[in-house]
Structure 1
Amino acid sequence: MDENARYEQFLRDRITELREQRNISEHRLSLELGKSGSYIRSITSGLTLPSVRELFNIIAYFEISPAEFFTGLEDKTSLRVALTEKLRELSDEDLEKVSTFIGWIKK
């Protein structure tokens, strides 16, 4: 699968995942976004892709950031992804310590 196809599949799967977490139908989500009842179905079936503006509307609907939406797009086995997940669990105080350590390493 080429990169574009992988990104498109991720987008469709992620919308479905978030929608199912909220226990909301494709039809209802479409209507709540101010679209026709089949809008989300056309995206998740691969018939169409949302515009960037509409993608941001979908992301905002789920009350997450674009970064959170795209979490998991990278190879889950990569060290960068594993570290990012661990960083999300740290307190602000611990994040400051990590930042200091990284600054020390870069010197």
Structure 2
Amino acid sequence: MDETFFAERIASLRNQKNVSAREMSLAIGQNASYINRIENHRALPSMQCFFYICEYLGVTPSEFFDTSNPNPEKISRILQELSSCNEKQLNTILLVIENFKKN
């Protein structure tokens, strides 16, 4: 992993959240250009800032590094919602997902 990975992953997750680099920088308590500097390969976050970034993006550090999951925030939200469904609802949702995958 290098700064290219951080730059691309942060940009991707930030864009999914539909926020600007400036807005995100300020929201995590940094100067307005902080995320822009990371995305332009001019800086890497400290460990503490990395945790703030993950929290802001709604992902765990593990999900941040899991490039096989391009939408970790949405998957987490879906799993949270599914945990409150009963068996019949889960079966229905599973059928819907299976039908989506067939098409």
TM-score (norm. length: structure 1): 0.60
Amino acid at match of 2:37: S
State yes or no: 1:58 paired with 2:50.
no
Number of residue-to-residue matches in the alignment: 71
Larger CA Rg, structure 1 vs 2: 1
Write the distance in 1 (CA, Å) between the matches of 2:16 and 2:29: 20
Instruction: Provide runs of 4+ in structure 1 moved above 6 Å.
Output: none
Amino acid at match of 1:21: Q
State yes or no: 1:8 paired with 2:3.
yes
Write the distance in 2 (CA, Å) between the matches of 1:18 and 1:58: 10
Alpha-carbon offset, residue 8 of structure 1 = 1.7
TM-score (norm. length: structure 2): 0.63
- The correspondence for 1:44, drawn from 39, 46, 49, is 39
- The correspondence for 1:33, drawn from 28, 46, 64, is 28
Q: For the aligned residues, what is the CA RMSD?
A: 2.1
Write the distance in 2 (CA, Å) between the matches of 1:47 and 1:10: 13
Task: Report sequence identity in percent.
Answer: 38
Q: Which sections of structure 1, spanning at least 5 residues, go unmatched?
A: 1-5, 77-107
Match of 2:65 in 1: 70
Higher relative contact order (CA 8 A, sep 6+): 2
Residues 4-37 of structure 1, C-alpha deviations (whole Å, 9 max, x = no match): xx53211110000011001100010001111111
